[in-house]
Structure 1
Amino acid sequence: MKRREFVQLAGLGIGGMLMTVPLMGNPIPVEALLDVPLDAVQKKQLADVALNTAKSQGATYADIRIGRYLNQFISTRENKVQNIVNTESFGVGIRVIVNGTWGFASTNTVTPDGIKKATQQAVAIAKANSKFQKEPVKLAPVKSYGEVTWKTPIEKNSFEVPVSEKADLLLKTNAAAQQNGASFVSSNLFQVNEQKYFASSEGSYIDQDIHRIWPTFSVTAVDKGSGTFKIRQALSAPMGMGYEYMIPKAIDKLHGPADVMLYRNSYDMIEDATLAAKQAKEMLTAKSVEPGKYSVVLEPNHLGLTIHESVGHPLELDRVLGYEANYAGTSFATLDKWKTGKFNYGSKLVNIFADKVQPGSLGAVGYDDEGVQCKRWDLIKDGILVNYQAIRDQVHILGQNESHGCCYAQSWSDVQFQRMANISLAPGKDPYSINEMIKDVEKGIYIAGRGSYSIDQQRYNFQFGGTVFYEIKNGAIAGMLNDVAYQSNTQEFWNSCTKICDEKDYRLFGSFFDGKGQPSQVSAVSHGSSTSRFDGINVINTGRTI
C-alpha cells in the first residue's frame, strides 16, 4: 500500500508547522487496528530473504524495515461527529550499499518473492548511482544487538478504547466550551501506532511497538455587535503515550499566572476547553500591546516551538552541510563555529540536549531506523555549541565514530534519513517557581501556547506569536493583552535568557508533523523545558499597520 490517499485537515493551529495533516495508508475497519498480521518468527524469515539476496547480489551492507503504520483520527464540531478515519499502511523498505553507494526500494508485496524483487531493485539502483558517486559511503560502526524488542511504556492502548467513548469525550469538550461562551468549537483526537521491524546484515533483528496520541481543539468567541472574533487553541501537547494521557490526574495540573492551566503527563481536555472559552471572550476586550522592550516569560508549550525552530533545525548536520538548502534552508551554526569550541549560542544558563529515550516524548524509541540504540547527548553546554545531530554516514564529518541514533523514515515506503531528535532545554538547577519568576519582572509579558511564527532560511532572525498573553507590571499579572509577537535573532535571544524554573515545572511540547526532505517526510518530535525568562526582547504589535 503506497501513499495514495491523504486526509487533509485545515485550521489545526499548530504553530504553522503543518499546512495539511497526512494520515498515510488505506482505510480499514476499526477492529482491524488490533490485528497481528505477522509474528516475530515470520518477520525474521522475511528479513533474511532480503539480507541474503542483497549479499548474493554484491551488497556490502543491507537493512530491511517491515512496517505496519496505523492511524485513527476523530474530528467533531459543536454537537456533531464530523469524521472517523482508521488507516493502515503495511509494507517493506530495503536499503543497500553496493560499490560504496546507497540504493533503496520498497514494496507492499510482503512475501518472500516480493521482498526478493525489491532487494534486487535496490541493488540495481545502487549500482546505477555508483557511476556518479564521488566518495564511498562511510558508516560508523554499530553493535549487533541480536533479537531485541522495545515498546512505548503505555498503560492503556488507545486503539482498545471504544470509538464511542473517545467521540463522547470530544463532544463533552465542545459542550463545555459552548456553555462558557464559545460561539464555535471543533475538537480532534489523533492516535498513531508504528509497528516496526528492523534487520541488518550486521546481525540485528529489532522489533518495536511505538504509540503516540494528540488531543486538540479550537475555540472561537464572536462579538456579534462588531463582528470581531478571537480564537484560543488547546494547551495540550502531543505525547508518546497511550490513552492514559486522556485520564486527568491532579498531580499533572499546574496553575500558571492568571489561572492558565498547564499540563504535564495527563491532560484534562474538558477543563482546558472551559478555560479556553472564557479566555477567548476576554480576548475580545483585552487591550492591544504597546510595542517596546520587555522581559518575556515563556511557558514550555510556547517555548518548545522556539526551541524547535531556533535550535532543533539549525543543529541538524545535513542542514549545516547544505543538503536541505533547496527546500528548507541552511544553518547559521556552521562547522567553523563549532570547531572553535567557543561559539556562544546562549547564556551560561542555557544547556540544551538531544534525547531519543525521553519518557513520554514523541521521538522516544529504543532504536532508530538504522538499528542504532538511542541515547541522550549534549548540543549546547553552558551556552557553548558542542555538537550536532548526525547519523551513521555523517558522524565521520565531525570526527566522531558513533551515530547519534536519530535516523527515521515516516513509513516503510520512504528511505530513512537524519531527523530531529527530541531537543530540550535543561531545567534550572536551583529551586525557582513560575510565581517567583513573575515577582522578579517589572515590565514583561507572560506567553502561553504556540502561535504563528516566521524564521529565515538560516534559522537566525525570527518572529514568534503565541496563544494567550498577559501583561506583567511590577511583579504581578496586570491583565490580558492582544496582538503580541516578539522578534530577535537566535544568538541574541538565547543570550538574553536570565532565569529558568526548576525541574518541577519541566514539561513537553511536541509536533506530530515536522516536515523535512525531498520528497518531503514528516516526523514526530518533542521539546521539553521549564518556564524561562528572556530580558530586553523586542515586542511588536501585530494588529497595527504602517
Structure 2
Amino acid sequence: MQRRDFIRLGGVGMASMILPVSGIAVSAEQLLDKPMDVAYKKKLADIALNAAKAKGATYADARIGRYLNQFITTREANVDNIVNRESAGIGIRVIANGTWGFASTSNMTPDSVAKTAEQAVAVAMANSKFQTSPVVLAPVKGVGEVSWQTPIKKNAMEVPIQEKVDMLLTANDAAMSNGANYITSILFLVNEQKYFASTDGSYIDQDVHRLWAPFFATGVGKNGFKQRNGLGNPVGMGFEYLDGKEEDKIKISGANVGYKNSYDLVEDAAAAGKQLQAKLKARSVEPGKYDLVLDPAHLMLTIHESVGHPLELDRVLGYEANYAGTSFATLDKWRSGKFQYGSDVVNLFADKTQEYSLGNVAYDDEGVKTKQWDLVKDGILVNYQAIRDQVHMIDQKESHGCCYSQSWADVQFQRMPNVSLKPNEKDISAEDIIKEVDDGIYIAGRGSFSIDQQRYNFQFGGQLFYEIKDGKIVDQIEDVAYQSNTQEFWNNCVKTAGKSDYRLGGSFFDGKGQPAQVSAVSHGCATTRFNNVNVINTARNV
C-alpha cells in the first residue's frame, strides 16, 4: 500500500486489488448488526484490567473494537469490486517494571481476555531488561462511563449497495460524456466502534464514521494524456455529504474548483471531463517566480507534509525515522522561542474536535479528552504533537490527546491530529485574494508531491492551474509544480481568506510506523497567497 491516499495508484484498477482492510468478509447486512452490549464490554474490560494488575501491572488499558469497512470500486460502466469486512477483538496495553507491553485477541471470552492481559504483562516484563528509563505517563483523570458518536445524519452503511453503485456509475458516465476517456470511481466507508477502559477509571464508548468518494479520470489527446482527480474531500460525516448542496460548491471565475460541507460527485465528474479537454489543449507554464494563490483542497496536502508530519514529537526526536524520515523542526528551534516557521500571518493549530473532520473524536485512544492547541503562533514555532508518555520530554504535564491505533489488534501511538491554518479574521474572499495578484498562478486540488527526509525541501503539483494577470484569472495552464523549503515557503505566506472560505481537506489513509498503520486526518484552511515561489515546468523538468 502506498503512503498517500492511493492517489498514486495510477488512477485506475489497482484500487480494486489493494485495499487497507482486515478482518473477515461479511454481507452488507451484517455491517448493520447491533454492536456488543456496553455492559458486556465493561465486564470484559474489567477482567482485562484486573488480570493485568494481578500480574504486576502498574497501569493498564483495554480497547474493545469492532471495525467495519465497505469499499466499492468501479471503472467506466463496470463494477470492479465490492468489499465488506468486519474485524473485532480486544487490545490490552500495560506498564510493568516501567515498560510497555501489549497483546491482543479476537477471542473475547472472559478466560481468553484474562490470558491476553497476562500475556501483555509478560511482554512488558521481558522488555524491561532493555529499558534504560521507566515510562513516564502524564496524569489523566478518569471520566467514568461516557459515550460519543460522529454527528451523522445518514448512516452510509444503511444506504443500499445499488444506490451507491448507481451513483458511482452515473458519475463515470458524466465524466466520459464530457470528455474523459477513462475513469475509476471509488467509495470508501469506515465505521469504528471503539470502547476504551483504563485503570485511571475511564469507560469510553465511541462510534466513529468516515467517508470518501474519490475518482481518477483520464483524457487522451494526440500528444499524450492528462489526469484530473476528484475534488471531493474525505470527511467525518455520513452519506449526507454526497447530497451536493448548491451553497457548498466552490467556483472561481466560473470554474468548478471544489466543495465545502457537501459534495456533488456527478457534477464534479462532469466538470472533470470538460477540464480534461481543456488540460489537453492548455499551454505549458513558463518556469519562474510567481505569486501563488492556493485553494484549500490543494494547500491541505502541503500543510500535511510540511507542518503536520514535521511537528510530530516522535519524528522530531528521531524515534520515527524509517517511515518518511525525521524532522528539521528540532527541539533547539522550539526552545529558542524565536524560530520563524512562517510569516506573522501564519497561525497553525492542532485540533481533534473540528466538526466534519476525519480526526474528530471526544477522546483519543489513551482516554484523553481531545482539544485544540497552537503549533505555530504569529509565525513562531510554539509546540508539537505529543501523547501521555512524551509530553514530559518537552516539559509539559498534559497529553495533547492525539494517540490512535488503526485497530484493536495494533498498539496505539502518536498520530497526527487535524492540523490547520487559521483563516483571516476579516471577511476576505478567494476572489479578493486573486484581485491583489499581478502575475501569479491559482492552484486547486491535490497532485503529486515530493519531500525530503527531514520534511524540509519539497515539490508539489496540483489538479487545476490557472494563470492570474492583473488581478484576474485569464487562462488554464498545465505542467505546474512549485519548489521551496518549509521555512521559506511559510515565510512567503502573505494573506489568507476569511472564515467563510475556510474548508477541510484530508488524508484518508495516512501511513506511519513500523509495523505500518494508517489513520485519517483533516487539514483546514482558506484560500491563501504565497509570494515569489519558484515554479517549474514538469513537462520540461525545469
Place the TM-score, normalised by the shorter chain, in its bin: over 0.9
| Alpha-carbon distance between aligned partners in 2 of 1:227 and 1:319, rounded to the nearest angstrom | 43
Cα distance in 1 between the residues matched to 2:125 and 2:269: 57
**What secondary structure sits across from 1:260 in the alignment?**
strand
Give the alignment partner of residue 95 of structure 2, picking from 94, 97, 115: 97
Deviations 1:238-268 (A, max 9, x none): 0000000011112212212451242111000
| 2:484 counterpart residue number | 488
Matching residue of 1:359: 355
**Alignment-derived partner of residue 216 in structure 1:** 214
Q: CA deviation at 1:451?
A: 0.5
Query: Matches of 2:421 and 2:507 in 1, distance apart?
Result: 16
Aligned to 1:139: 137
Q: Gapped runs of 5+ residues in structure 2?
A: 1-5
Q: Tell me how far apart the structure 2 counterparts of residues 540 and 59 of structure 1 sit (CA, whole Å).
A: 57
User: Aligned residue for 1:3?
Assistant: none
3-state SS of paired residue (2:434): helix
1:244 to 240, 245, 255: 240
1-structure distance, mates of 2:7, 2:292: 33
Asked if 1:260 corresponds to 2:260, the answer is no
The gaps in structure 1 that reach 5 residues or longer are 1-7
1:416 shift after superposition: 0.2
CA distance in 2, matches of 1:140, 1:126: 19
Q: 2:234·2:506 contact (CA, 8 Å) conserved in 1?
A: yes
Q: After TM superposition, list the pairs within 5 Å mapping 1:127-526 onto structure 2.
A: 127-223=125-221, 226=222, 228-526=224-522
Task: Please tell me the residue identity of whatever aligns with 2:109.
Answer: T
Q: Distance in 1 between matches of 2:228 and 2:157?
A: 29
Contact 1:353–1:423 (8 Å) recurs in 2: yes
Retained in 2: the 8 A contact 1:256–1:262? no
**Per-residue displacement from partner, 1:279-311 (whole Å, max 9, x unpaired)?**
001111100000000001100010000000000
Matches of 2:380 and 2:344 in 1, distance apart?
A: 8
| Aligned residue type for 2:499 | E
Measure, in 2, the Cα distance between the counterparts of 1:159 and 1:416. Answer: 26
- Paired with 2:35 and 2:256, the residues of 1 have a C-alpha distance of 45
Deviation at 1:326, TM superposition (A): 2.6
CA distance in 2, matches of 1:271, 1:325: 42
CA distance in 1, matches of 2:365, 2:100: 15
8 Å contact kept, 1:296–1:445: yes
Hey, what's the Cα distance between the residues in 1 that align with 2:200 and 2:334?
32
Tell me the residue number matched to 1:530: 526
Shift, 1:13, TM fit: 5.4
Residue of 52, 62, 65 corresponding to 1:64: 62
3-state SS, counterpart of residue 462 of structure 2: coil
**8 A contact 2:249–2:256 mirrored in 1:** no
User: 1:545–1:370: structure 2 CA closer, same or farther, 3 Å change rule?
Assistant: closer
Aligned-residue RMSD, C-alpha? 1.5
Distance 1:138 1:13 in 2: 45
Q: Which amino acid is the alignment partner of residue 302 of structure 1? A: H
Moved over 6 A (4+): none
Q: Which amino acid aligns with 2:145?
A: E
Give the secondary-structure state (helix, strand or coil) at the position aligned to 1:52.
Answer: helix
SS in 2 for 1:251: helix
Q: Is the 8 A contact 1:406 1:421 kept in 2?
A: yes
Alignment of 1:18-167 (within 5 A): 21-167=19-165
Deviations, residues 355-396 of structure 1 (Å, cap 9, x unaligned): 011000000001000100000101010101110000000000
- Measure how far apart 1:183 and its partner are: 1.0
Cα offsets for 1:115-143 (capped at 9, x unmatched): 11111110000000111111000000001
- What amino acid is the match of 1:485? A
CA distance in structure 2 between the partners assigned to 1:37 and 1:385 by the alignment:
43
Distance 1:370 1:338, change over 3 A: same
How much does 1:324 deviate? 1.0
- Please say if residues 70 and 193 of structure 1, whose CA atoms lie closer than 8 Å, have aligned partners that are also in contact: yes
Deviations 1:155-203 (A, max 9, x none): 0000011010011111111111111121111111000000000000111
State how far apart, in whole Å, the 2-side matches of 1:490 and 1:37 are. 45
Cα distance between partner residues in 2 of 1:60 and 1:272: 54
Amino acid at match of 1:63: D
Confirm or deny: 8 A CA contact 1:361 1:508 kept in the other structure: yes
Distance 1:394 1:442 in 2: 47
Identity %: 65
Secondary structure of 2:376's aligned partner = strand
- CA 1:434–1:13 in structure 2 vs 1: closer, same or farther (change >3 Å)? farther
**Partner secondary structure for residue 335 of structure 2:** helix
AA aligned opposite 1:263: Y
Once the two structures are TM-superposed, the CA of residue 9 in structure 1 deviates from its matched residue by 10
